[in-house]
């Protein structure tokens, strides 16, 4: 392969390195660039190596965010299992995770007028790693959030209660930015993770509102926004009514004895016979 063909291939592949580049792609490109005479086309060589180093560092950063997200998910699943054993019901219905794509990260930095760098990502984009926790009832949101905040190695960075103070469009959810340590073989790195906690009804509304908001052609936008706000109010009222019904059922149920509670817990335990 000639130098020109290597340079052409390298240039094309450099353009796509930021978009989900695999380790194999990075390694192959590095081998091709090493074949170049560094005295020839040195600018392209140096720029290529600079970009590759950034891509490798970015992949490591995103891996770290992914590990932090998994750490939080395990904590939430543990709390849910503990609550099921102790209270015979699950406060968490489902958990969804997502890593922000590079394009979205860069757009957010641009909106803030902040140059792109790995350091600026960590310091200025708190929702690179995110979890959406869907709860059964309104009070479960605060039960789970409070239990998570009490974890020994969790640091609360910020909290926004859009349930007590909904957004003007009707959006409701509890947003937490928490810092969690990720343990490597030679270091510990603290990472910010966003956790959104909401009910099934709140998530239903937010999902549909998001889909409608990003349609290209929106006719009668003010009327539609008013209808969405009305739906949000109805959904919230339903959430409160369902919580009240559950609490009424619990209040009118016969009080369990210690033996009853133990028996209910034993039904949740699946022990091997041998």
Q: Which residues are catalytic?
A: 194
- Asked if residue 173 lies in contact with residue 96, where contact means CB atoms within 8 angstroms, the answer is no
Nearest residue to 181 (alpha-carbon basis) of 46, 68, 22, 62: 68
* Alpha helix (H) residue ranges in 118-199: 118-124, 138-149
Which residues have C-beta within 8 Å of that of residue 273, sequence separation ≥ 6?
none
Burial of 147 (0-12, 13-18, 19+ CB in 10 A): middle
Other beta carbons within 10 angstroms of residue 33's beta carbon come to 20
């Amino acid at each position: 392969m000639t130098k020109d063909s290597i340079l052409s291939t390298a240039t094309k592949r450099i353009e796509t390195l930021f978009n989900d580049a695999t380790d194999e792609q990075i390694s192959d490109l590095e081998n091709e660039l090493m074949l170049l005479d560094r005295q020839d086309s040195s600018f392209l060589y140096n720029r290529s190596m600079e970009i590759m180093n950034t891509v490798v560092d970015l992949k490591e950063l995103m891996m770290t965010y992914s590990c932090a997200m998994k750490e939080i998910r395990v904590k939430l699943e543990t709390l849910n299992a503990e609550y099921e054993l102790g209270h015979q019901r699950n406060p968490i219905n489902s958990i969804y995770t997502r890593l922000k794509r590079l394009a979205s990260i860069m757009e957010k930095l641009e909106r803030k007028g902040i140059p792109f760098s790995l350091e600026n990502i960590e310091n200025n984009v708190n929702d690179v790693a995110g979890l959406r926790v869907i709860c059964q009832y309104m009070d479960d949101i605060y039960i789970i959030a409070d239990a998570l905040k009490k974890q020994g190695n969790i640091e609360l960075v910020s909290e926004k209660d859009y349930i007590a103070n909904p957004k003007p469009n009707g959006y409701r959810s509890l947003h937490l930015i928490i810092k969690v340590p990720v343990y490597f073989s030679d270091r510990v790195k603290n990472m910010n993770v966003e956790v959104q906690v909401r009910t099934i009804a709140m998530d239903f509304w937010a999902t549909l509102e998001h889909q409608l908001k990003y349609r290209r052609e929106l006719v009668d936008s003010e009327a539609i926004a008013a209808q969405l706000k009305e739906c949000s109010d109805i959904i919230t009222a339903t959430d409160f009514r369902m919580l009240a019904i559950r609490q009424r059922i619990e209040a009118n149920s016969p009080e369990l004895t210690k033996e009853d509670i133990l028996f209910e817990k034993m039904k949740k335990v699946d022990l091997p016979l041998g």
